[in-house]
Amino acid sequence: MFNRNFKNVLVVSIGFLSLFTAYGGLQSLQSSLNAEEGMGVASLSVIYASIIISSMFLPPIMIKNLGCKWTIVVSMACYVSYSFGNLYPGWYTLIPTSVILGLGGSPLWSAKCTYLTISGNIQAANEGKKGSDVINLYFGIFFFILQSSAVWGNLMSSLIFGQDTKIEEQLQFCGVGACDVVINGTSSSRPDEKLVWTLVGCYIGVGVLAMIIVAVFLDNIDREQTSQFRGNREPFCHTFLATFRLLKDWRLLTLIPLTMYSGFEQSFLSGEYTKNYVTCALGIHYVGFVMMCFGATNSVCSFLFGRLAQYTGRAALFFLAAITNFSCILALLFWKPHPDQIAVIFVFPALWGMADAIWQTQTNALYGILFPRAKEAAFANYRMWESLGFVIAFAYSTFICLEIKLYILLSVLLLTAVTYPIVEYREYKNPTPPIEQGTYNKYKETTQKDEMRVIAQTRL
């Protein structure tokens, strides 16, 4: 049933869809588009290193002072700056805008996760349901809409770059044979500059649209909490250290491998698979189509698994994701891509998208369920450790062979398979108590009073 909370979930989701149509498309192309001296991958490393820094202190400060809505809007502006940096890519443009994007990255995702968690708990209190079930549903809807951004962003890049079909034959270096290419710095040719400007201009437009959607249509549901915080300000050091204080909780420490693996697996697909399997065998104009396949599968599975979680439980879904990624990694170690195997090249991102849908929806929901009283700090930790996975993966991208990268990815996955069940078993034996229902009933009463006031003013 359509209600105010569901409307807010849709607004957040559509705003992120528009924003990541731009950023997702640019990220997928960096290893191929700005391959000179590893500049594109270096900019991605800087982005996620900056996210780690911002995760240490910015999310609690921004969310408590600005509220979730305006934190999202300000952070979106940081993402748009990176698109401007790609108009004239160079070390002096990409690196500064990467830093700006990174500083806005953690507040953006923490505010989004906090907003969806609050909305889910409010709706659960209204309907007498379990908060975890509604939160899972809302995250599933969000990622269903968000992950389709890979379709639209990459469709734009493929259609535009499809007008310039220069392909360099380097088949002997595709797949795990790409080690010599990486070490010697060989790269594919860059598309025509006018086509790059056209694509980046489109990305800037949809990024600005995302800011407008959220600023105009999203309800400020934590306005009262924000006002109270500003009126009864906590000591700066208390807010500044909120992210680190949560590290005293052993559950969060045990979740670090799972969270970092999310960064490793995403960076592998967007940085390594697109360059060493897709661009190498088919050309850069195929990267968009391959990532569309990933995004479409990810989108549908996010919605599906968000609804299935209440019946199957998280553990079964995480097991499915782990087995899928494990099988793909083993296959990629032995398979050498060729232009005649286009169907196979698309199978891997489809399977990867299904697994990533589970990693994203269930890990986000798990953080919201385990740490309901420290949501801002919890999701800041999530972004910090996930970003560390991105940074490590992108940092060694130009220095070691693809085969070693696959073994590293496999090792982190196996470590996750050992640590995650510990948290799940502990939560099964001693469930985390949810936020008191009275907290959200109070919000419900406040909302009803606001609506009655608006109606009364309208009648006058």
Residue 160 is assigned to a structural domain of this protein? yes
d(CA 255, CA 319): 15
- Residue 187 counted as domain residue: yes
Alpha helices in 128-148 (DSSP H): 131-147
For residue 415, what pLDDT is reported?
A: 96
* pLDDT digits (tens), the chain, 460 positions: 568 888 999 999 999 999 999 888 888 777 667 767 678 778 888 998 898 888 777 887 888 888 889 999 999 999 999 999 888 888 888 999 999 999 998 899 889 988 988 888 888 888 887 777 788 888 888 988 987 887 788 788 777 876 665 544 455 567 776 564 444 444 455 667 788 888 889 999 999 999 999 999 999 887 665 554 444 445 545 555 667 788 888 898 999 999 999 999 998 987 788 888 887 778 777 877 888 888 889 888 988 887 787 788 889 999 999 999 999 999 999 888 888 888 999 999 999 999 999 998 899 888 888 888 777 778 878 888 988 898 898 788 777 888 999 999 999 999 999 999 999 888 888 888 766 544 445 444 444 444 444 334 434 4
Return the structure tokens found at 336. 């050498």
Residue 150 lies in a domain: yes
Instruction: Let me know if residue 441 belongs to a domain.
Output: no
Long-range CB contacts for residues 167-173, cutoff 8 Å, separation at least 24: 167/282, 167/283, 170/280, 171/280, 171/281, 171/338, 171/339, 173/280
CA distance 332 to 335: 5
* Domain coverage including residue 306: 7-429
pLDDT (0 to 100) of residue 172: 54
| CA–CA distance, 254 with 428 (Å, rounded to integer) | 15
- How many domains is the chain built from? 1
CATH number at residue 173: 1.20.1250.20
Show the tokens assigned to 15.
């705003």
What's the pLDDT score for residue 151?
A: 79
CB contact burial 7-23 (16+ within 10 A = b; e otherwise):
ebbbbbbbbbbbbbbbb
210, part of any domain: yes
Q: Tell me, what's the pLDDT at 5?
A: 86
Quick one: DSSP state of residue 399?
Answer: T
Q: Are 73 and 208 in contact (CB under 8 A)?
A: no
pLDDT at res. 236: 47
Domain assignment present for 457: no
Q: Is residue 454 part of a domain?
A: no
Q: Is residue 438 part of a domain?
A: no
pLDDT of residue 435: 62
Q: Compute how many other C-beta atoms are within 10 angstroms of the C-beta atom of residue 370.
A: 18
Which pLDDT does position 206 carry in this prediction?
A: 93
